[in-house]
A and B are shown apart, each in its own frame.
Chain A
C-alpha cells in the first residue's frame, strides 16, 4: 500500500506559496517548454553530438583512407616508371654532373676556357674570377630537400686573336658541356698588334656566368 508523501512542516510553507503559481495553466505550459528546450540541449550536447561526430569522423576516415590508398597506388606505379627511366639513362647521368657540378669548380672552368682558346688558336690574355665559395655547404637539410637549386659565379675572360679564331672560340664556348651563360661580349681592336702584315688581331672581352648545383 502506497504511502502519501508529506512535506516536512518547515518546507510546507514554501510549497504552499509556490502551489498557486504552479497551478496556473500558462506557467505549466511555459515550464514544459522551458524544460523541453533544456533537456534537448543537454541531451544533444552529451549524447547526440558525440555519436553523430563519431559517425561522421569514421565516414570521413574511410573516404580519406580510400583516397590515400589510390594515391599510394599511383605513386608506386610512378616510382616503378621512374626507376625504369632512371635505369635507361643511368649511363648518361654523369653528363649532368659535367654540365652542372655540385661544387663551383672554378679551376676546371678556367682550364676548359684555356684549352678552348688553345684549340681555337687564340690566346688568353686574362681570366678573372670573382669570389667563389671553395665548396658548397651540404647541410643536413639537403637530405630532406627534394629540389636542387643552382648558383653561379661570374668570370671575365679576355682573349686575343684573329677574328676566325675568336669566332671558333665562341662556337666552342656555346658547345661546351659545362653550363655557362654569356652576359656580354665586347670586341675591340688589339692595340698591341706588332705588324701590319698579319691579319688584324681583335681582343674579345667576355663576361660569363658559370653555374653549379647547390643543396
Chain B
C-alpha cells in the first residue's frame, strides 16, 4: 500500500515538473525576440532634423 502512494507521488511530481517545464519553455518562446541583432541595428530610429541655426551661426563667424 505504501509503495502505491510513493509511486503516485513520484508520478504526480513528475507530471507537475514536466507541466511547469513546458509552461516556462512556452513563456520563453513568447518573450524571445525573433529579430536578428543586425536588423535591430538597422531599424534604429533616425531623427531627420539638423540644427540649422548653429550652421547659420557658424556662417556668421569669422574665418581668419
Spell out A's residues near B (CB within 8 Å). Answer: 26-27, 30-31, 33-34, 37-38, 40-41, 44-45, 48-49, 52-53, 56-57, 60-61, 64-65, 67-68, 71-72, 74-75, 78-82, 84-86, 89, 92, 95-96, 98-99, 111-112, 115-116, 119, 172, 175-178
Contacts and interface: CB of A to CB of B under 8 A. Distances in A.
Interface secondary structure of B, over-half rule: helix
A89 B52 contact: yes
Given A30-B7, A38-B15, A44-B22, A176 B52 contact: no
Nearest to A41: B18
A96 B30 CA distance: 47
4 nearest A-B pairs in the assembled complex, by CB-CB distance:
A81-B48, A37-B15, A71-B43, A41-B18
A56 B25 CA distance: 11
Contact of B14 (A41, A82, A84, A89): A41
Nearest to B31: A60
B29 A60 contact: yes
Contact of B58 (A33, A38, A98): A98
Nearest to A63: B34
B21 to A, nearest CB: 8
B7 A75 contact: no
13 contacts: A31-B4, A37-B14, A41-B18, A57-B34, A68-B35, A71-B45, A72-B42, A85-B48, A89-B55, A92-B58, A112-B64, A175-B62, A176-B64
Interface string B14-27: 11001101100110
Contact of A79 (B11, B48, B49, B62): B48
B29 A78 contact: no
Contacts of B64: 111-112, 115-116, 119, 172, 176
A75 B15 contact: no
Contact of B22 (A48, A67, A176): A48
